[in-house]
Amino acid sequence: MTFHRGSSRSYNKRPSVCQFCVDKVTNLDYKNLDVLVKQTDPEGKIRPRRRTGTCARHQRMVAIAIKRARHMALLAFDRGSWI
Amino acid sequence: MRNYEIAVIISPDLNDQSLVDLKETIKDWIISSGGEVALVDDRGQRKMAYQIEKKREGHYISWYSSLLPSGPSEVERQMRLNENILRFMIIKSDIPVEPNEKSMSVESDSNVAETAASIGISEEITEGDKVTEVEVDEVSGEEQEEESG
C-alpha cells in the first residue's frame, strides 16, 4: 500500500505576473464590465489573488470596482451555484 | 471643488417627457448646490443584474461634475426623496476624456466605433444609445419567450 505524502488535491499555480501591472492600469472604472466579469467566479464571487495572480494594489482596485458595480446592479451579488 | 461622478438608475416606467424633466431636475440640484456639470453620460435603458423595487430594467445616467464639499450630501438628500430614482451613487472620479470608450460592455462596440468614425464624435453618443436600446429590446424579447415557454 502506497501512502501519498501531502494532499492529492490538484491546484492551479498562480500566474507569476499581475495582468493589470502588465497593462499598466492606473484606475479601474466600475462600468468596465469586460474586465470585472473575468475577476469573478461563476457564482459571482471576487476571485482571490492566489487564482488570478493580481498584485495587492490592483486587487484593491478590483474589489472596489466590483462592489460598486454590484451596488449599481451591473453585477450580481449572488448568481447562485446552479451553473 | 472636487470632481465626482453622480451615477443614477432611473425607473424604466417614466415616459420620455418626465424622463427629460427628471434629468433637468437632477442637473438643477447639482447647480443649486454650487456645482458644475462637466459631462452627462446617458447609457440608456439596460437590464439590471437583479431586481430593484420589482423592476428588471433601469435607465443608467451619470453626471460627471465638480461639487463643493457640501455638495454630495445635498444632492444625496434630494435623491433619496425622489421615488423614480431606483439607485444612485456619488463617487470621487475624474472626468473621462472619452466617456464611451470604457463605458458599459455593449456587444456592439464595433458598431459604435464605426458610426463614430463615419459621423463624428458629436454623433457618437446618440448613435450608441440607439444601439443599446435595440439590444435591450432584443434581450427582453428573449426573456419573455423563455418565461412563456
Q: What is the pLDDT of residue B120?
A: 41
Looking at the domain assignment, is residue A32 inside a domain? Answer: yes
Within an 8 Å CB–CB cutoff, is residue B40 touching chain A? no
B142 or A44, which is more confident: A44
Residue B133 belongs to what domain range?
104-149
pTM of the model: 0.69
Cα separation of the two ends of chain B: 54
Q: What is the pLDDT of residue A51?
A: 87
Mean pLDDT of chain A: 85
The residue in chain A having the minimum alpha-carbon distance to the alpha carbon of residue B107 is: A34
Q: What is the mean pLDDT of each run of 10 residues along chain B (149 residues)?
A: 93 92 93 91 92 93 93 92 94 74 44 41 40 42 44
Stronger pLDDT, B141 or A78, i.e. the higher one:
A78
Of B57, B78, B30, give the one whose Cα is nearest residue A74: B57
Does residue A30 fall inside a structural domain?
A: yes
Q: How many domains does chain B have?
A: 2
Q: Is B27 helix (H, G, I), strand (E, B) or coil?
A: helix
Question: Taking chain A, what is the end-to-end CA distance rounded to the nearest angstrom?
Answer: 39
Residue with cell 471576487: A46
Instruction: Determine the residue of chain B that is closest to A65 in CA distance.
Output: B91
> Quick one: pLDDT at residue A16?
80
The answer to whether the Cβ–Cβ distance between A68 and B89 falls below 8 Å is: yes
Mean pLDDT computed over A2-13 = 63
Interface test with B, best of A25, A31, A74 (most B CBs within 10 A): A31
Provide ipTM, 2 decimals. 0.75
3-class SS letters over B91-123: EECCCCCCCCCCCCCCCCHHHHHHHHHHHCHHH
Which backbone phi and psi does A74 adopt, to 5 degrees? Answer: -90, -30
Cross-chain Cβ contact A72/B7 below 8 Å: yes
B62 shares its domain with B116: no
Residue B72, classed as helix, strand or coil, is helix
Q: Is the pLDDT of residue A79 over 90?
A: no
In this structure, is residue A4 part of a structural domain?
no
User: What is the reported pLDDT for A3?
Assistant: 55
- Contact residues on chain A for B89, CB-CB shorter than 8 A: 68, 71-72
> Which of A72, A78, A79 is the best mutation test for B, with the most CBs of B within 10 A?
A72
